[in-house]
C-alpha cells in the first residue's frame, strides 16, 4: 500500500468513494476470473455501487478443473451478485492456435478478454466502465511505474490500446497480495477464495509451454488437480503461497504395462513468499512428492514422468511463462 499508515478499513472506505466517483452513476462491468484479486475487486465494487455492478466470468477453457462452476456458484448463488458466464473456450483456443511465444500468448489473451468484455457490455446497453483486479506486482513486472519489465501481465502490458470502455477502474492497483487477501477477509469473502493461491489471468496457457491445445490442457488440469488435492490433504495448503503443475512440452521414454512408452513429463512447482516479488522453493516432504508422482503417472493418461522445480525467484519467475 502506498501509505503505510493506512489501515485496510480506511482503504476500503476510500476505495469505495473512488469507485463511486469514477463510475459516475454508470453501470459497471467487472472482469471476474475467479482468482483472489478479481474476487476481492468484485466484492469491493459491489459494496460501493451495489446492483449497478455486473460481473463477467469468461470461461476461456484455460481454467483449472471445475473452476468455472465454483466461481459461478459462489458469486451468483452465495453472494447474489449479478454474474454473466460466457463460454469462450473455442474462441480463445482458436486465437492461440500455433502460438508458442509466451509474450504473444499474453497479448492475445489480454486483447481477447477485452473484446469479450466489450461485446458483453454492448449487449447489456449502457455500461461504460470496466473494473479489473490489477495489483501492484502486476504493474511492477509489466515494466510500468518506473520498473523494468519481467513479463507483460495480460491486464497491464497485455491490454490493447483501442478499448471501447470510457474508463478502466483498478481499485486494488496499489496493493500487494497479502493486503488484497486482508481486504477480502474484511469484505466477508469466503476463505476458499480469500486464501486461495493466485491464478494467472492467462490461466493454464502460461503453464502449458509451447502451443496450447485442448488435449494438453486436459492432461495438465488432471495432474494439477491431483497435486493440489494431496497438498491440501497433507495440510500444507496454508503454508505454501502457490503450488501448481506445469506441462513443459517434453516427452520422455518410460514403461507402461510392461511396454515402452513415450509420453509427457509434468513439473510440480511450490513457492513460499510474502509479496510475490521474490520467492523461494517450498521444501515439500519427499514422501508427499512420491505419492503425487505415483498418482499422476497412474491416473493421468499420457504422463509418465514427474519432476519438482526448486528454482527461486529470481532467477526464475513463479509462473513458467
Chain centroid, CA 59 distance in Å = 12
More confident site: 11 or 5: 11
User: What confidence tens digit (pLDDT) does each residue in 270-284 have?
Assistant: 999 988 889 999 999
The answer to whether residue 310 scores a pLDDT higher than 60 is yes
Q: What is the mean pLDDT of the chain?
A: 89
The answer for residues whose C-beta is within 8 angstroms of residue 103's C-beta and 6 or more apart is: 151, 152
Task: Specify which of 3-17, 22-36, 249-263 reaches the highest per-range mean pLDDT.
Answer: 249-263
Exposed, middle or buried by CB within 10 Å (0-12, 13-18, 19+), for 106? buried
User: What confidence tens digit (pLDDT) does each residue in 204-251 have?
Assistant: 999 999 999 999 999 999 999 999 999 999 999 889 999 999 999 999
The answer for residues whose C-beta is within 8 angstroms of residue 113's C-beta and 6 or more apart is: 31, 58, 60, 154, 155, 201
Q: If DSSP states are collapsed to H, E and C, what string results for 208-247?
A: ECCCCCHHHHHHHHHHHHHHHHHHHHCCCCCCCCEEEEEE
Query: For 15-18, which contacts have Cβ atoms below 8 Å and span 24 or more sequence positions?
Result: 15/44, 15/48, 15/171, 15/172, 16/44, 16/47, 16/48, 17/48, 18/171
Classify 289 as helix, strand or coil.
helix
User: What confidence tens digit (pLDDT) does each residue in 191-203 have?
Assistant: 888 888 888 889 9
User: What confidence tens digit (pLDDT) does each residue in 145-161 have?
Assistant: 443 444 444 444 445 55
User: What confidence tens digit (pLDDT) does each residue in 36-60 have?
Assistant: 899 999 999 999 999 999 999 999 9
- Residue linked to cell 449502457: 126
pLDDT at site 145: 47
DSSP string for 102-155: HHHHHHHHHHHHHHHHHHHHHHHSS--EEE----HHHHHHTT-TTPPPS---TT
Chain centroid, CA 98 distance in Å = 23
Looking at residues 131-149, what average pLDDT do you find? 68
Tell me how crowded residue 183 is: count the other CB atoms within 10 A of its CB.
26
pTM, whole model, 2 decimals? Answer: 0.81
User: What confidence tens digit (pLDDT) does each residue in 87-106 have?
Assistant: 999 999 999 999 999 999 99
**What are the distances in angstroms from CA 75 to CA 60, 84, 190, 249?**
18, 10, 10, 35
The answer to whether residue 29 scores a pLDDT higher than 80 is yes
Chain centroid, CA 34 distance in Å = 7
**What is the rounded distance in angstroms from the CA atom of residue 282 to the CA atom of residue 180?**
22
More confident site: 149 or 292: 292
Looking at residues 177-184, what average pLDDT do you find? 91
Amino acid at each position: 500500500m502506498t501509505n503505510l499508515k493506512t489501515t485496510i478499513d480506511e482503504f476500503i472506505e476510500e476505495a469505495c468513494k473512488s469507485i463511486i466517483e469514477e463510475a459516475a452513476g454508470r453501470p459497471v462491468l467487472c472482469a471476474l476470473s475467479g482468482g483472489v484479486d478479481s474476487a476481492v475487486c468484485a466484492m469491493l465494487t459491489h459494496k460501493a455501487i451495489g446492483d449497478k455492478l455486473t460481473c463477467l466470468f469468461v470461461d476461456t477453457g484455460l481454467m483449472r478443473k471445475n473452476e468455472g462452476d465454483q466461481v459461478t456458484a459462489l458469486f451468483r448463488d452465495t453472494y447474489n451478485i449479478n454474474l454473466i458466464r460466457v463460454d469462450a473456450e473455442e474462441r480463445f483456443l482458436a486465437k492461440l492456435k500455433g502460438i508458442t511465444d509466451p509474450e504473444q500468448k499474453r497479448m492475445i489473451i489480454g486483447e481477447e478478454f477485452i473484446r469479450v468484455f466489450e461485446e458483453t457490455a454492448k449487449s447489456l446497453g449502457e455500461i461504460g466502465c470496466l473494473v479489473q483486479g490489477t495489483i501492484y506486482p502486476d504493474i511492477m513486472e509489466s515494466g510500468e511505474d518506473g520498473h523494468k519489465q519481467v513479463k507483460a501481465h495480460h491486464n497491464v502490458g497485455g491490454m490493447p490500446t483501442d478499448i471501447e470502455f470510457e474508463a478502466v477502474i483498478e481499485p486494488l492497483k496499489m496493493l500487494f497480495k497479502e493486503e488484497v487477501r486482508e481486504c477480502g477477509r474484511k469484505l466477508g469473502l469466503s476463505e476458499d477464495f480469500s486464501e486461495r493461491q493466485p491464478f494467472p489471468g492467462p490461466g493454464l496457457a502460461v503453464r502449458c509451454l509451447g502451443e496450447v491445445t485442448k488435449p494438453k490442457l486436459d492432461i495438465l488440469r488432471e495432474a494439477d488437480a491431483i497435486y493440489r488435492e494431496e497438498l491440501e490433504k497433507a495440510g500444507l495448503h496454508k503454508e505454501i503461497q502457490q503450488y501448481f503443475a506445469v506441462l513443459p512440452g517434453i516427452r520422455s521414454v518410460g514403461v507402461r504395462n510392461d511396454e515402452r512408452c513415450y509420453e509427457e513429463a509434468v513439473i510440480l512447482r511450490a513457492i513460499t513468499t510474502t509479496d510475490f516479488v521474490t520467492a523461494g522453493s517450498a521444501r515439500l516432504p519427499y514422501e508427499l512428492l512420491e505419492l503425487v508422482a505415483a498418482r499422476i503417472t497412474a491416473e493421468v493418461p499420457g504422463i509418465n514422468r514427474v519432476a519438482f522445480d526448486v528454482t527461486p525467484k529470481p532467477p526464475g519467475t513463479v509462473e513458467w511463462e
